[in-house]
């Protein structure tokens, strides 16, 4: 579905076209990417990015569509560039995300600010759209648990409080409005939207690999239990013999690496149609490039983190877009609804464009409209709070804060499996690779379960100095090489980065290679702090 792909020497695609496009298609059906000397994406066909000396994004621009005027009954749309400034604290956490382009009548100015405690828990958030401001203060009674127990919210002169509830495993069971349950394996199994006796429940089923393979239509209490729908799905295939609502829902199909390939609806009011996803393999993981939605092929325009931001029809018409926000809290908008949303004036609208539903979000995530949460393989992410609803199942190997998402900077990092952050900014990496069979064993190799393979860790794609993952000290004999940007990178490794490297090295030591999942998530832990011009190292 994509053709004429051009790659740069770093293995990054910088130009391609969509083969299904009409002969009169607009230039938006051609992808054009540019990178700086550090391998960071600077422009796309729909966006641009600016970085500071530490590799953090300081501003970004996205071409967005919206209502052409404030008259709610009109259907015309327009497009323009929207730019945001991004502020980060010294540890790289996003603290501000503010519109810097002039506000318009249809697109009021918006601001967002965040503060954190020493463990990276969100303490406060401020959100402003036009003259409306929403302020939250989160309750964090236990410093060592990193478990927020609720928040107080002030909108205008009105303040309300919300209390959370958790089970013994520290999984969120209530966000104050909705209820959640988990199966014996700790997987998100059902969501009840609302707190009344008539609130509907959506149930989720998983396969032996822990992948979500089915979710039911919302079932109301009077319709019976949702368990029978899942039992019928697995026992009798595609013909559940239960009440109507329980026969309906979505089935999901994945590839061998856990990427969502297709979702098929059963034809209900909330589960109609089907979608297939097409990915382009890249050095930073699979990039969504096309989707077949109800039999129609669309181009998917993804950004520097392989996050889909725009969908275009074969004739070049933009049908769907997802505007940037600090933590993914902004909802997508569509051509069918005049690209109107909570941050536009008017907030709703209609056109003659075909409605398009697209549920991919950050890499490895799927948006559930019933809850507003993003399914993230092993956990569920809440973009409104910027954190997971469950602790990391890998435990403290993932870092001290088990609820944090992507180092609290989703503009730079991803977490496609809900387990750990992927570092993917530029060509410079921390790399572990197997050498000859090991002749000795050290504690840093973890529990020895395989034959044992010699492992070296480098900074700089096998061209930098080696270091020890037990102490993260320079390997004896490589001290002269570990100078300048190399030493700076080693000194500034975060605890999360160190744990990632340790776990990758253990797998290489025991298996001689990376498993499919870790291979696709990239063992190469790219450091945004290192720029170009590095000295030649050794292997």
Mean pLDDT of 191-209: 92
Burial class (CB in 10 A: 0-12, 13-18, 19+), 428: buried
Class of residue 244 by CB neighbours under 10 A (exposed 0-12, middle 13-18, buried 19+): exposed
Overall domain count for the chain: 2
Domain match, 455 and 375 both: no
pLDDT beyond 90 at 221: no
pLDDT at position 12, please?
86
Quote the pLDDT of residue 222: 64
Does residue 440 lie in a domain region? Answer: yes
Q: Which residue in this structure is represented by tokens 């969509």?
A: 18
Angstrom distance (rounded) from CA 469 to CA 495: 12
Same-domain pairing of 445 and 317: no
Domain co-membership, 304 together with 432: no
Q: Is residue 221 part of a domain?
A: yes
More confident residue, 478 or 345: 345
Phi, psi of 233 (to 5 degrees): -60, -45
Domain assignment of residue 538, yes or no: no
Q: What tokens does 442 get?
A: 């050290």
Mean pLDDT of the chain: 83
- For the chain, give the percent of residues with pLDDT over 70: 78
Query: Is pLDDT of 283 > 60?
Result: yes
Neighbours of 25 (CB within 10 A): 19
Is the model's pLDDT at 236 over the cut of 50? no
pLDDT at 388: 96
| 131 occurs within a structural domain | yes
- Distance from C-alpha of 460 to C-alpha of 63, rounded to nearest angstrom: 35
Average pLDDT of the segment spanning 378-399: 85
Q: What's the confidence (pLDDT) of residue 533?
A: 32
Evaluate whether 284 touches 302 at the Cβ level (below 8 Å). Answer: no
Domain boundary (349, 373, 396) is at 396
Q: Is the pLDDT of residue 506 over 90?
A: no
Mark whether 469 and 346 lie in a shared domain: no
Indicate the residue among 347, 374, 396 that finishes a domain: 396
Put the strands of the sheet holding 379-382 in their side by side order: 366-367, 374-376, 379-382, 387-388
Does residue 134 have a pLDDT over 50? Answer: yes
Q: Which domain holds residue 8?
A: 2-396
Average the pLDDT over each of 286-295, 302-311, 426-435 and give the range with the smallest value: 426-435
Provide the token pair at 166: 């958790």
| 385 contact partners, CB below 8 Å, separation of at least 6 | 122, 138, 148, 327
pLDDT of 309 > 90? The answer is yes
Same domain for 102 and 196, yes or no, is yes
CB count within 10 Å of CB 4 equals 10
In this prediction, residue 59 has a pLDDT band, given cuts at 50, 70 and 90, of very high
Please return the burial class of 501, using the count of CB atoms within 10 Å of its CB with bins 0-12, 13-18 and 19+.
Answer: buried
pLDDT classification of 297: cutoffs 50, 70, 90: very high
332-356: average pLDDT:
95
Structure tokens at 381: 């992410």
Find the range with the poorest average confidence among 2-11, 198-207, 270-279, 495-504. Answer: 495-504
Point out the least confidently predicted range of 229-238, 384-393, 493-502: 229-238
In this predicted structure, which of 94-103, 339-348, 472-481, 521-530 has the lowest mean pLDDT? 521-530
**Closest Cα to residue 493, out of 520, 459, 539, 532?**
459
Q: Could you tell me how far CA 330 lies from the centroid of its own chain?
A: 13
* pLDDT given for residue 9 in this prediction: 79
For residue 442, the model assigns a pLDDT of: 63
Lowest-pLDDT choice from 41-55, 156-170, 386-400, 487-501: 487-501
| Least confident residue range of 101-105, 124-128, 170-174, 384-388 | 101-105
Can you tell me the distance from the alpha carbon of 522 to that of 168, in angstroms, rounded to the nearest whole number? Answer: 33
Whether 167 and 38 map to the same domain: the answer is yes
Are 376 and 432 within one domain?
no
Distance CA 498, CA 396 (A): 12
Q: Could you give phi then psi for residue 253, rounded to 5 degrees?
A: -125, 140
Determine the Cα–Cα distance for residues 10 and 4; give it in Å rounded to an integer: 18
pLDDT of the residue at 85: 98
539 in a domain, yes or no? Answer: no
pLDDT for residue 290 is more than 70: yes
Max mean pLDDT range (8-17, 132-141, 423-432): 132-141
End-to-end CA distance of the chain: 39
Instruction: Give the C-alpha separation, 443 to 506, whole Å.
Output: 10
Specify whether the CB–CB gap between 178 and 194 falls below 8 A. Answer: yes
Section 29-35 average pLDDT: 93
pLDDT at position 241 is 43
- pLDDT for residue 319: 98
From 378, 396, 414, the end of a domain falls on: 396
Stronger pLDDT, 215 or 458, i.e. the higher one: 215
Residue 280 and residue 348 in one domain: yes
Residue 450, domain member (yes or no): yes
**Does residue 288 have a pLDDT over 90?**
yes
pLDDT above 70: residue 5:
yes
Question: Looking at the predicted structure, is the pLDDT value of residue 426 above 70?
Answer: no
Contact of 453 with 442, CB cutoff 8 Å: no
Residue 123 and residue 232 in one domain: yes
Q: How far apart are CA 74 and CA 349, in angstroms?
A: 8
CB 60 within 8 A of CB 86: yes
**Residue 433, token pair as written in the block:** 């690779």
Q: How far is CA 327 from CA 292, 374, 531, in A?
A: 27, 12, 26
DSSP state, 332? Answer: P
Answer yes or no: do 185 and 38 share one domain. yes
State residue 465's pLDDT score: 74
The position carrying tokens 């009077």 is 222
- pLDDT tens-place string over residues 248-276: 899 999 998 889 999 999 988 888 899 99
Could you write out the DSSP letters of every residue in 105-124?
A: SSS--EEEEEEE-TTS-EEE
Identify whether residues 439 and 390 lie together within a single domain: no
One domain for residues 434 and 337: no
Q: Identify the pLDDT of residue 111.
A: 96
Mean predicted confidence (pLDDT) in 459-470? 67
Instruction: Say yes or no to pLDDT of 332 above 60.
Output: yes
Which of 295, 330, 293 shows the shortest CA–CA distance to 309?
330
């Amino acid at each position: 579905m994509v053709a004429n792909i051009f790659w740069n020497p770093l293995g990054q695609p910088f130009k391609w076209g969509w083969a299904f496009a009409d002969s009169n298609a607009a230039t938006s059906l051609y992808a054009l990417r540019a990178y700086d000397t550090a391998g960071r994406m600077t422009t796309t066909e729909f966006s641009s990015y600016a970085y500071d000396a530490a590799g953090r994004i300081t501003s970004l621009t996205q071409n967005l569509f919206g209502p052409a005027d404030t008259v709610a009954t009109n259907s015309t749309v327009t497009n323009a560039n929207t730019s945001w400034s991004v502020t980060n604290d010294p540890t790289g956490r996003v603290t501000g995300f503010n519109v810097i382009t002039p506000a318009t009548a249809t697109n009021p100015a918006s601001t967002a600010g965040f503060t954190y405690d020493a463990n990276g828990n969100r303490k406060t958030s401020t959100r402003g759209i036009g003259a409306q401001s929403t302020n939250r203060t989160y309750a964090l009674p236990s410093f060592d648990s990193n478990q927020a127990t609720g928040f107080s919210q002030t909108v205008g002169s009105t303040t309300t409080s919300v209390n959370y509830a958790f089970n013994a495993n520290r999984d969120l069971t209530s966000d104050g409005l909705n209820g959640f349950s988990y199966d014996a394996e700790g997987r998100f199994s059902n969501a009840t939207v609302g707190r009344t006796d008539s609130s509907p429940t959506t149930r989720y089923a998983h396969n032996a690999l822990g992948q979500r393979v089915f979710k039911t239509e919302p079932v109301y209490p009077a319709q019976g239990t949702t368990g029978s729908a899942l039992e019928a799905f697995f026992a009798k295939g595609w013909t559940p013999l239960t009440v109507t609502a329980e026969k309906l829902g979505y089935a999901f199909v994945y590839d061998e690496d856990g990427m969502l390939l297709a979702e098929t609806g059963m034809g209900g009011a909330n589960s109609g149609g089907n979608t297939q996803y097409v990915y382009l393999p890249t050095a930073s993981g699979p990039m969504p490039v096309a989707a077949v939605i109800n039999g129609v092929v669309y181009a998917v325009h993804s950004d520097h983190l392989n996050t889909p931001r725009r969908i275009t029809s074969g004739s070049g018409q933009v049908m769907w877009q997802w505007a940037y926000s600090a933590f993914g809290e902004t909802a997508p908008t569509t051509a069918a609804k005049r690209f109107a949303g909570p941050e536009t004036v008017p907030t709703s609208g209609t056109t003659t464009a075909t409605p398009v539903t697209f549920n991919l979000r950050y890499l490895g995530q799927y948006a559930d409209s019933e809850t507003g949460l993003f399914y993230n393989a092993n956990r569920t992410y809440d973009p409104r709070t910027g954190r997971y609803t469950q602790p990391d199942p890998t435990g403290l190997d993932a870092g001290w804060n088990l609820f944090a998402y992507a180092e609290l900077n989703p503009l730079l990092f991803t977490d496609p499996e809900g387990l750990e952050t992927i570092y993917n900014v530029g060509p410079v990496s921390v790399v572990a690779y197997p050498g000859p069979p090991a002749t000795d064993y050290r504690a840093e190799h973890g529990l020895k379960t395989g034959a044992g393979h010699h492992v070296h860790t480098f900074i700089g794609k096998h061209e930098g100095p080696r270091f020890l993952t037990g102490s993260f000290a320079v390997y004896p004999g490589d001290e002269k090489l570990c100078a300048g940007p190399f030493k700076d990178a080693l000194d500034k490794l975060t605890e999360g980065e160190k744990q990632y490297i340790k776990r990758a090295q253990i797998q290489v030591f025991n298996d001689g290679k990376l498993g499919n999942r870790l291979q696709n998530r990239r063992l190469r832990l790219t450091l945004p702090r290192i720029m170009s011009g590095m000295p030649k190292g050794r292997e």
